[in-house]
Structure 1
Amino acid sequence: MNKKEKGQLIEELTEKFAEFPHFYLADGSGMTVSQTNTFRQLCYEKGLEYKVVKNSLIQKALEKQEGDYSEIFGALKGFSGILFSPEVGNAPAKVIKEFHKKNSTEKPLFKAAAIDTDIYVGAEHLTPLSELKSKKDMLGDIVGLLQSPAKNVISALQSGGHTVSGLVKALEERAQ
């Protein structure tokens, strides 16, 4: 790869990092061709993009971003594949865990992740990241919580209204 091609790749990566607020770095070294193809297919099915790029080019592209990604630079050693997620921050973690489970393997290894402005480095973060709720799920939970008290009040008023009217009728019939 010549200098011009590297420059183009860095620009492409810079645009990708700017476009996708969520990305993960994984080490897929030691995976067979079949496993790599299966992993790529799983990523495609889940709406993720998986690219293998030289660490130095990843670092140069990250240095051009607005945020501070210097914490990730330490993870840029060995083999690095990037998983880009367009909307959901936990999708790549779920895909990696699903692949581990289906294929009884530890590969690809989670190296680091950037979710919006938060940076996670180290394999110990994979499980907590896979359990994160998506923005859509969180909004659904909040709406449900906000609706719950109103539903309880309306339900109590409706059931109480029937009880009160029944009591009034019973008292009226007794009086006659």
Structure 2
Amino acid sequence: MNRAQKAELIEMIKAKADDASIAIVTDFKGLTVEEMTELRVKLREAGVAYKVVKNTLARIALDGGQHELLQGHLKENCAVAFGFDDPVAAAKVLSEYAKSNKKFSVKFGCLEGKPLDEAALTELSKLPSKPELLGKLLGTMNAVPTNFVCLFANLQRKFLYALTAIKDQKDSAAA
């Protein structure tokens, strides 16, 4: 790889790191090509970019950015996963894959400049995804006006039941 290619790769990694909300360093030592392809497909479906790069180039690319904390964890065979929209999705896919494949492990992560060790990444992966959280929020927001309408409908219904009972009572007294 010549200098121009290295500079291009560094710029590409830097651009992905700047756009990413989460970056996770993984150890893939011992994985076969098929296993790596399977992991990449799962990550791509979740909207996560996964790059295997030389550690030196990755350190240069991450220098001065929000994911600078990862520099000390780029050792041996490692790759970096960049999650853009939903940080939970990246953590979920990587944690599930680490459970199913003992050769693969999650080393360290950085969520918007804050460090995440392996335990914190596992806890992050247990959270609901962004669409699930938005669905719960909308359900809660919708429940308030719905309950308000039901409350007033019940008040009117009970008032009508009382009026109907009085009418029935007067009708039976008149007959």
TM-score exceeds 0.5: yes
What amino acid does structure 1 have at the position aligned with 2:89? A
**1:167: how far off?**
0.7
Aligned to 2:130: 135
Aligned to 1:111: 107
Aligned to 2:74: 76
Partners of 2:33 and 2:130 lie apart in 1 by 35
- Structural mapping, 1:46-85, within 5 Å: 46-65=46-65, 67=66, 69-85=67-83
Instruction: Give aligned-pair identity as a percent.
Output: 28
Q: TM-score, normalised by structure 1?
A: 0.83
Structure 2 residue 14 is matched with structure 1 residue 14: yes
Give the superposed CA RMSD: 2.2
Structure 2 residue 166 is matched with structure 1 residue 171: yes
Aligned to 2:88: 90
**1:162: how far off?**
1.2
**1:70: how far off?**
4.1
Partners of 2:138 and 2:44 lie apart in 1 by 31
Whose Rg is larger?
2
SS in 1 for 2:87: coil
Asked whether the 8 Å contact 1:24–1:113 carries over to 2, the reply is yes
What amino acid does structure 1 have at the position aligned with 2:82? F
SS in 2 for 1:74: helix
Partners of 1:107 and 1:160 lie apart in 2 by 64
Aligned length: 171
What amino acid does structure 2 have at the position aligned with 1:144? G
CA deviation vs aligned residue, 1:146-172 (integer Å, no higher than 9, x gap): 222322221122123112111112113
Partners of 1:64 and 1:7 lie apart in 2 by 16
